[in-house]
Structure 1
Amino acid sequence: MSDHGEEHGEGGGSHGGSHGGGHGGGGHAEGEHEGAPEWLISFADMVMLIMGFFVIMLAMNMGPKTTAVQGGEPGESNVSPAAPDMMDLVIALREGFNNKFDINSTRPEDQPFLRRIKERMGGPARDDAPSGKAPSVQSLNRGDSAKPTAVITFDDRSALLTSAARQTLNEAAAKFGGQRYVIEVRGHVSPFESMRQEQTARQLSYERAMAAATLLAEAGIEWELLRIVSCGAADRVVGRTFDRMEDRSNQRVELIITNELAAPDVYSAPSKAEQAAAPE
């Protein structure tokens, strides 16, 4: 009887072990199939990349600010002007994420990048110059004819000066006063306005240049110093583009102080200094 009970116990243990082992094995097999789906892992990787990008942007904006002792104004971002490649990278990244810099932004940390954008569009911006459409000032340094010293923009197919354009021209006239260098007033149109009609493009660009020159003359600049140039759509700030807003950047008048001195007026009376220097 005891032998039978032992056999039964052993059998029961064997059965229980077999049964428990079977269930344990089945549970282990189920665990192997559990886990996150592949799309969730890919999504997490993308989130990490985006977070890393914004961490880099935050680190670039958290640099030390310049002070009056360092040669800058408090609150101005300390971005080195000698690192245009890094600025171009940041600008390209912002454009890639459809988060372009606002050209009308007044945030101090955006100003170095806005100056870089303006430099790529038509020349470097300086501090001692009239304000323009861009938040940074426009250069008035005398130089060669490759870089504009002030830029005035126009509406589509129009030669009328806006209030902002008049302000820029008046400020430019105040800076130009007292010098005898020839000032080129170059009128331009966009390809959208010209529509491959060269005569129309030249006429509109001439009217724009003439409107700007007339206001400069009214502000005190002598006509002898002004040289009207009609460029049509030949000299573009933005090349071939399908973006209408970018194409409007070509609708402009550029003021350029050349290295060429204006010829003296042969009919004007000689100055006292010239009379004193003249031989008897």
Structure 2
Amino acid sequence: MSDEKHNQGAHGAAEGGEHKKHKKHHPHRHEEHEHEEGWIVSFADNALLQMGFFVILLALNMGEKAKGPADPDGPEGGAAMSAAMLDGVISIREAFNNPVTLDSKNANDLPLVQRLRERAGSGDATDQGTPGQKQRVQATPPTNYTAPTGTVGFEQGSAQISSAARRTLESVAGQIAGGKWVIEVRGHASAIEGRSGVDASMRLSYERALAAATVLNQHRVPWANIRVVACGDNDRYSPSASSAGFGTNSRAEIIVTREPMAEDPFLRGPTNGQ
């Protein structure tokens, strides 16, 4: 009996020891998980610090003290940034929910806006044309010639805006005011009005376009958005020189193009004495 009790006691002591060891093992595992979480947080902080470091480097390269070939067209004649650097800045701005927009008026964004326009129109030219910047050739920007936003008519030989034409122009101005696109105002003359010569036809069509553009400007369409075009009698609704043809060809058209308005030249600062 004494031997059995001794064996049972020894067995119980062994189980108790294992149980105690098992209890001691849990806190150790919990501490390991805490250390792992700490490493994860430290790694994330390190990644953010590295990103911030590269952002600072890019900002320094955009500053006045940046080293590199001078860019005469850049703000204050600063150093030119490579396309890869500009793309990097654009990507970082997008990642931080602060994308660069084509209509930005910030002088510091001008190189980035120019880069966006280059990327939108980049590619090797396959058509014959007048040489342009880099891979591009000079070409007229695509516009909607068949669906003008508004059309107003004129009396024969006159560039005066009638009351009906003024109401039409005021309505058109209310639709297009505040936009960032170029507004072409095209003046036209009839074949009858152009009989006295091309000069008279072009002059009359220009006066009509300018008169219509002036009304648009009086109703919150800035001149920076407006392009006045004289077409003479070269773009006819009616091919005949009859009175019916005069009624449709003596007109001014307002067309919203797909071309963004030009940048304000005074935001870039003086360059090369210009």
Q: TM-score range by the shorter chain?
A: 0.3 to 0.5
TM-score using structure 2 length: 0.44
TM-score using structure 1 length: 0.43
Larger RCO (alpha carbons 8 Å, 6+ apart): 2
